[in-house]
Amino acid sequence: MLIALVLGLSVLALVVAWSLRGYVLRQDNGTPDMRKISDAIQEGAEAFLRRQYRTIGTLSIALGVLIYVLYAFFRKPHPGEPVAATLALTTTLSFLFGALCSGVAGIVGMYVAVRSNIRTASAARTSLNKALQIALRGGAVSGLFVVAMSLFGVGILYTILDALHFEPTKIPLMIVGYGFGASFVALFAQLGGGIYTKAADVGADLVGKVEAGIPEDDPRNPAVIADLVGDNVGDCAGRGADLFESTAAENIGAMILGSGLALANPGVFTPVQVVGLMLFPLVARAFGLVASIVGVLLVKAREDEDPMHALNRGYMWTAVLAALGFAGGTYWLLNPPSHPDAWWHFALCGVIGIATSIAFVYITQYYTEYRYRPVKSIAAASVTGPATNIIAGFAVALECTALPTFTISAAIIASYKLGASSGLAHSGLFGTAVATMGMLGTAAYILAMDTFGPITDNAGGIIEMSHQPEDIRKRTDRLDAVGNTTKALTKGYAIGSAALAAFLLFSAFLDEVAALGSPLAAVDISKPEVFVGGLLGAMLVFWFSALAISAVTKAAVSVIQEVRRQFQADPGILKGTSRPDYGRAVDIVTIGALKAMVAPGLLAVGMPIAVGLVFKVLFHVGAETVASFLMVGTIGGILMATLLNNGGGAWDNAKKFIETGEYGGKGSPTHKAAVVGDTVGDPFKDTAGPSLHVLIKLLSTVTLVLAPLFV
Amino acid sequence: MLIALVLGLSVLALVVAWSLRGYVLRQDNGTPDMRKISDAIQEGAEAFLRRQYRTIGTLSIALGVLIYVLYAFFRKPHPGEPVAATLALTTTLSFLFGALCSGVAGIVGMYVAVRSNIRTASAARTSLNKALQIALRGGAVSGLFVVAMSLFGVGILYTILDALHFEPTKIPLMIVGYGFGASFVALFAQLGGGIYTKAADVGADLVGKVEAGIPEDDPRNPAVIADLVGDNVGDCAGRGADLFESTAAENIGAMILGSGLALANPGVFTPVQVVGLMLFPLVARAFGLVASIVGVLLVKAREDEDPMHALNRGYMWTAVLAALGFAGGTYWLLNPPSHPDAWWHFALCGVIGIATSIAFVYITQYYTEYRYRPVKSIAAASVTGPATNIIAGFAVALECTALPTFTISAAIIASYKLGASSGLAHSGLFGTAVATMGMLGTAAYILAMDTFGPITDNAGGIIEMSHQPEDIRKRTDRLDAVGNTTKALTKGYAIGSAALAAFLLFSAFLDEVAALGSPLAAVDISKPEVFVGGLLGAMLVFWFSALAISAVTKAAVSVIQEVRRQFQADPGILKGTSRPDYGRAVDIVTIGALKAMVAPGLLAVGMPIAVGLVFKVLFHVGAETVASFLMVGTIGGILMATLLNNGGGAWDNAKKFIETGEYGGKGSPTHKAAVVGDTVGDPFKDTAGPSLHVLIKLLSTVTLVLAPLFV
């Protein structure tokens, strides 16, 4: 019954997403001039996605085979577990299914996003509100699709295995492959998209703005379409895959903890309640989906209003509704008669999660908006040149790790203590899990706001390139500025939820190790091997970031060379008499980005496996070392991702602050210095930072699935 | 008898240092023109040191009182421990004594360094070899003094307590205050010196080179003397305090482990052998001192030779002699008759340590010298402007954490396993301790090479400012280039030894906690509180770096304003007709740097205390959380310090590579872009990075001394 509710609500969300898609596609799609540009973006984005998913698909199938072999031949099933062949089959199939669902969600979201931009641009010619609504609803297609697909996938897998008469509490561990599939796709989607977007951006800027002296989004720049495509593949497809993974991994991790809680409290829950306990995460997510739908539909802006206020109102509605649904869900499902007080402990944990997400939104704003001290200090330091701009920006980037850390620390401990005081046995970690669910409750709305970013950015580009009047450009500029804020917020949210979800997945890993027959008494980092595991985990974060950032440079070089070549081959391009070959630039970035994503991707997947195997073979402490690798790596990842995301955002907005006329305004030497910081921040905030979110979760899911190797 | 040997050899080293001082002071001290400059540097450096040590002295006394109160009133002595009042007294006095010894070593080293520069400059007028020898021997005064004082201090404390009939194995824990005193002074010495040097450097460059267009080291720049002073207070006094602390903390930590080893193997060692076991670290260090003296005295360069080769030969002699002394020491002192194979296991651990130090030297060279790929890639990226220079440099900085991490990991595990297989019980950690001793065996020579850096840098400045002929300038330039390399190497070495020493101190902390009556079964980071402790520890590294870097900016702003003021007040300065007021610039940097060092310093000392107390009071897991804070903080510190040090060095040398004529050479746009990277790297490699070395060890010593608070 419960699972029917979950499946029903996720299908409802998919239907709503589909009808929003219809709503967007029915809108006016502009003049032929505008369509020409929009069509080029569509083609470019779809070509990239096709090639990218072909690469990812091949890699996924190869890994699927590996997983099957591993599970079928190397994992001895132990008492109470399904036979090896069954387990191998379910794990492999759920891995492939997770990869597939993630891919479908990404493709559908992108399909609509690249069609929403021109409709938003067209609507901007008459009304701000109309443009805002189209962009947000276009984004909501992606947001709803991603979250609903992740939920639907888990629900379907559960239904199938339940129908095959597996014991419900065993099911979560049988479908961990789903989360790993999602992580695996997300890693490459985010890496490839992130490299693409920044290689195109940096490449277009360096040749266009710096060498040829033409403005941004100028149609004479052969890389301009690639740049607009990049916003879609990075922010929309990449972040979509990221949050797909978060919700999928968190769903499964929380289900594992739920079944653990049931086992730790024998006799407290009836068999029906045990299923309710385990399905609670799915129900909570389904309620969150409904809350997000309502929130999105309520957004409406007055013509003279800051569009951000309208989006914030929608978010508040979503948060309040999600909290109510959450509290209802805990009262309904986490309420054993023998412990009448337990439910509200968990409800409060959910509130902690929602509060954490709001805190992250505000902290991110503080560090990345130019109304506040940090960004202002970077702008002020730009007066003495690019070097001081970089130093000040890096100092802000380092500093901005403090508040999020305190927030996460407080959230983890408070929810753990609240959970533990529920009266149930071993319920502390479940409290943390519930807080994570709370935090992810509004994921669909957040993702809609995120995809709003590239849609409005593209709308601005289309308006600019089709030479529309100044006042329309102003309207899209306002929306674009809001889009920049929402993109930054989503990253803060994504890293916060990744941190909480990772903590959940640690426990799932330890449970899995225990289920494999050799429980760890502790993850004791005072042991040399375990300490070294932690050191290696943290180092992976640094190394991975290095590879991600260099990948951008490498791919950007190929763009620069191509643009220079086109300018030389046909001088008419710069005069505006010939049309540059946009398609070739798009192709070149695509190939470059896909090639460049392989090295960091393999490092991320390979290093935890290598560490686990080496320490198992040499020192017989594979599992404990991997656990420490995972946990300290997560700590490093949280901090580095925050540094990179917020640092990049702060540099970007310091430049924008100067462009409002401060310190000499646009074109001044101060502005030039700030442009340097902005360019440096680009691969930080759009490639390495977001890829680290995914890395954190990938570390958890890869170790979870491959745990049998290390024990 | 053994302690007499230790004291005797350390006094010998002090005597040699004193006679080297005499040797340096007897040298020709140049023309009156040169003396005028050198005198100004001396005055500035000594004025800074005086004020700095006054501030540090006041802070130390305040902290000493606090320690006394804490030990006398809050720590319950437990069975076998001296009474509270005695323990309070020995801890407090050894804290103050450690602070004092560190101060004396710093002041003497600096006294000679600021007098060696002009003698080096003067000798450079006739012979490269002579100049090299003076600079290295001047540096050796500092190196020998620092290491000998740290050894002498521990030896004296041991002698006194032994004479007072305390049981030998209890003594190490009674003198941990000595290490904390050294760390405390080192933190402020390195922070203050690091902020001073870079504020003066960045300030002088930004107004001088960028605004007024005058070259580096130009006498018309009012901040030029402050810049030259900065090299001394940062590299000489700062790094001296850093390595003083390393050797002191390592001495005591290793003694604690030695006494633990004796207790774990009852009946294996005779009482005399127990003392030998405990004093082994001191004996090994004393042999290392002798090896360093020989190495320094052997250095001799042909006129046509790269001076680096001469220094490397001296280092190899030192390493070989230290290894021999080490092997002899293990055969003599770690050789219980019942375990005839034990000694060579430990001797090999020592070799691992020496090999690690050599590996660090080569890895640092690979990442910071322009003969290799990383620096070349930064230079190549500078062609497209400062933004790509910064991106490429940051990628190199992130990447360069990988090899040192693998090296440290291998060293920790190999020495642990070797130690554990010695046949003695619980001897694994002692193996790691022995490796640390091996690594620090050549500390005096390394420090001599380090101080060689500011001496030759200053000599170059004096030659430039006193308008000496071109070919003399070329000679000092060669020495200066070598000095840059040696400074970079020392940082690599310092971070490697800090990592090993920290691992030792963890164990000492756990021993101390156990001695306080509540041994920890594990430091289990899968517990939420302990995980959060680790997260906070790693975050401290980021936050502290942010404060250290901002401190440079703040202090630099005051320099810039002063230089501008002087240029405006007297236009004759820029024309070269009036002499700028160097003293005022020196004063302003001094005040600025001392003010700016307080915030990061207090954060470093305060945060571990706050974390320990909060987690003890709220959750009763003070000690375990602090342990995780310490260990994960150390991991973060190792990585971040490596990033900052090598990144800064790589940017610096990318600029130097371009100055050799590559990519358009000096003055080209590519060179300008590289100057931006160089300036950004300055506070990284000379302020934040080196301060992190100290932070790592301070975390260990502060928690060790204040452990009674957290249990």
pLDDT tens digits for range B155-183: 999 889 888 888 877 888 788 889 889 88
CB < 8 Å to A521, chain B:
521-522
pLDDT of residue B77: 63
Query: pLDDT tens digit string along B398-426?
Result: 999 999 999 999 999 999 999 888 888 88
Return d(Cα B170, Cα B80) in angstroms, integer. Answer: 9
Q: pLDDT band for B82, please (50, 70, 90 cuts).
A: low
pLDDT of residue A568: 86
Closest Cα in chain A, distance from residue B638 (Å): 9
Return d(Cα B435, Cα A353) in angstroms, integer. Answer: 47
Mean pLDDT within B453-477: 86
Q: pLDDT band for B134, please (50, 70, 90 cuts).
A: very high
Q: Say how many Å lie between the first and final Cα of chain A, rounded.
A: 38
Q: Is A206 on the interface with B (CB under 8 A)?
A: yes
Mean pLDDT is lowest, of A272-281, A685-694, B206-215, B495-504, for B206-215
Residue B348 amino acid letter:
L
Closest Cα in chain A, distance from residue B612 (Å): 14
Q: pLDDT band for A78, please (50, 70, 90 cuts).
A: low
Q: pLDDT band for A427, please (50, 70, 90 cuts).
A: confident
CB atoms closer than 10 angstroms to residue A328? 15
Rounded (5°) CA angle A502-A504-A505: 65
Q: pLDDT band for B541, please (50, 70, 90 cuts).
A: very high
Residue B216 pLDDT greater than 80, yes or no:
no
Residue B632 pLDDT greater than 80, yes or no:
yes
pLDDT of residue B80: 61
pLDDT of residue B166: 84
Residue B83 pLDDT greater than 80, yes or no:
no
Mean pLDDT within B491-499: 86
CB < 8 Å to B669, chain A:
none
pLDDT of residue B169: 78
Residue A293 pLDDT greater than 90, yes or no:
yes
Task: Give the DSSP letter of residue A524.
Answer: B
Task: Note the helical H segments in B570-621.
Answer: 572-575, 582-596, 598-619
Across the interface, of B429, B560, B639, the residue whose CB is closest to A538 is B639
**Signed CA dihedral, B306, B312, B314, B317: sign only:** negative
Residue B69 pLDDT greater than 90, yes or no:
no
pLDDT of residue A79: 61
Report the residue of A195, A383, A388, A418 to disrupt the B interface, i.e. the one with the largest count of B CBs within 10 Å: A388
Q: Is B305 on the interface with A (CB under 8 A)?
A: no
Tokens in use for A149?
């697909």
Give buried/exposed letters for A17-47 (b at 16+ CB in 10 A, else e). beebbebbeebebbeeebbebbebbbbbbbe
Q: How many CA atoms lie within 13 A of A304 on its CB side?
A: 0
Query: pLDDT tens digit string along B20-41?
Result: 888 988 888 888 888 888 888 8
Q: Say how many Å lie between the first and final Cα of chain B, rounded.
A: 38
Q: pLDDT band for A80, please (50, 70, 90 cuts).
A: low
Q: For chain B, what is the radius of gyration of the CA atoms?
A: 24
Mean pLDDT within A405-410: 94
Q: Is A674 on the interface with B (CB under 8 A)?
A: no
Mean pLDDT within B445-459: 89
pLDDT of residue B697: 86
Q: pLDDT band for B579, please (50, 70, 90 cuts).
A: confident
Q: Which of residues 431-450 of B touch A (CB under 8 A)?
A: 432
Task: Give the DSSP letter of residue B384.
Answer: G
Q: Is B630 on the interface with A (CB under 8 A)?
A: no
Query: pLDDT tens digit string along A101-144?
Result: 988 888 888 888 888 989 998 998 888 889 999 999 999 998 99
| ipTM (interface predicted TM) | 0.92
Q: Give the chain B residue whose CA is nearest to the CA of A387.
A: B676
Mean pLDDT is lowest, of A13-27, B368-382, B503-517, for B503-517
Residue A516 pLDDT greater than 90, yes or no:
no
Residue A694 pLDDT greater than 90, yes or no:
no
This prediction's pTM: 0.92
Q: What are the angstrom distances between the C-alpha of A10 and each of A6, A151, A164, A176, B7?
A: 6, 7, 22, 20, 78
Give the contacts of B609 (CB within 8 A, at least 6 positions apart): B702, B706, B709
Instruction: With CB atoms and an 8 Å threshold, state whether A535 touches B638.
Output: yes
Residue A684 pLDDT greater than 90, yes or no:
yes
Q: pLDDT band for B391, please (50, 70, 90 cuts).
A: very high
Return d(Cα B144, Cα A41) in angstroms, integer. Answer: 68
Residue A633 pLDDT greater than 90, yes or no:
yes
CB atoms closer than 10 angstroms to residue B139? 32
pLDDT of residue B417: 92
CB < 8 Å to A522, chain B:
521-524, 526
How does the average pLDDT of chain A come out, rounded?
87
Burial category of B574 from C-beta neighbours within 10 Å (exposed 0-12, middle 13-18, buried 19 and up): middle
Return d(Cα A410, Cα A94) in angstroms, integer. Answer: 35
Q: Which of residues 548-577 of B touch A (CB under 8 A)?
A: 549-550, 552-553, 560
Share above pLDDT 90 across residues of chain B, in percent, rounded to a whole number: 25
Q: Are A435 and A411 in contact (CB under 8 A)?
A: yes
Closest Cα in chain A, distance from residue B621 (Å): 13
Q: Give the chain B residue whose CA is nearest to the CA of A409.
A: B532
pLDDT of residue A445: 92
Q: pLDDT band for B79, please (50, 70, 90 cuts).
A: low
Give the contacts of B252 (CB within 8 A, at least 6 positions apart): B154, B172, B175, B176, B178, B179, B508
Report the residue of A195, A376, A377, A390 to disrupt the B interface, i.e. the one with the largest count of B CBs within 10 Å: A390
Report the residue of B507, B550, B626, B638 to disrupt the A interface, i.e. the one with the largest count of A CBs within 10 Å: B550
Tokens in use for A357?
């997400």
Query: pLDDT tens digit string along A452-462?
Result: 988 998 888 88
CB < 8 Å to B210, chain A:
384-385
Residue B213 pLDDT greater than 80, yes or no:
no
Rounded (5°) CA angle B316-B318-B321: 105
Closest Cα in chain A, distance from residue B137 (Å): 36
pLDDT of residue B510: 85
Residue A350 amino acid letter:
G
Instruction: With CB atoms and an 8 Å threshold, state whether B394 touches A549.
Output: yes
Q: Is B421 on the interface with A (CB under 8 A)?
A: no
Q: Give the chain A residue whose CA is nearest to the CA of B532.
A: A409
Mean pLDDT is lowest, of A192-196, A483-487, B290-294, for A483-487
pLDDT of residue A76: 65
Q: pLDDT band for A77, please (50, 70, 90 cuts).
A: low
Report the residue of B390, B421, B504, B651 to disrupt the A interface, i.e. the one with the largest count of A CBs within 10 Å: B390
Tokens in use for B152?
């002498």
Report the residue of B408, B507, B513, B539 to disrupt the A interface, i.e. the one with the largest count of A CBs within 10 Å: B539
Tokens in use for B446?
């390394």
Among all chains, which residue has been given the structure tokens 């310093």? B601
Tokens in use for A539?
């180092």
Return d(Cα A227, Cα A580) in angstroms, integer. Answer: 14
How does the average pLDDT of chain B come out, rounded?
87
Return d(Cα B197, Cα B218) in angstroms, integer. Answer: 17
Residue A667 pLDDT greater than 90, yes or no:
no
Beta bridge partners of A524: B524
Q: Are A613 and A513 in contact (CB under 8 A)?
A: no
Q: Are B408 and B356 in contact (CB under 8 A)?
A: yes
**Of residues A563 and A641, which shows the higher confidence score?**
A641
CB < 8 Å to B628, chain A:
525
Tokens in use for B521?
């079964």
Residue B502 amino acid letter:
A
pLDDT of residue B78: 62
Size of interface A-B (CB pairs under 8 A): 228
Beta bridge partners of B524: A524
Helix H, strand E, coil C: the string for A145-156 is HHHHHHHHHHHH
Mean pLDDT within A539-560: 91
Share above pLDDT 70 across residues of chain B, in percent, rounded to a whole number: 99
Mean pLDDT within A233-241: 82
pLDDT of residue A338: 83
Q: pLDDT band for B81, please (50, 70, 90 cuts).
A: low
Instruction: With CB atoms and an 8 Å threshold, state whether B553 touches A399.
Output: no
Return d(Cα B567, Cα B563) in angstroms, integer. Answer: 6
**Of residues B588 and A219, which shows the higher confidence score?**
B588
CB < 8 Å to A680, chain B:
387, 390-391, 394
Query: pLDDT tens digit string along B662-698?
Result: 899 888 989 999 999 999 998 999 899 989 988 988 8
Q: Is A401 on the interface with B (CB under 8 A)?
A: yes
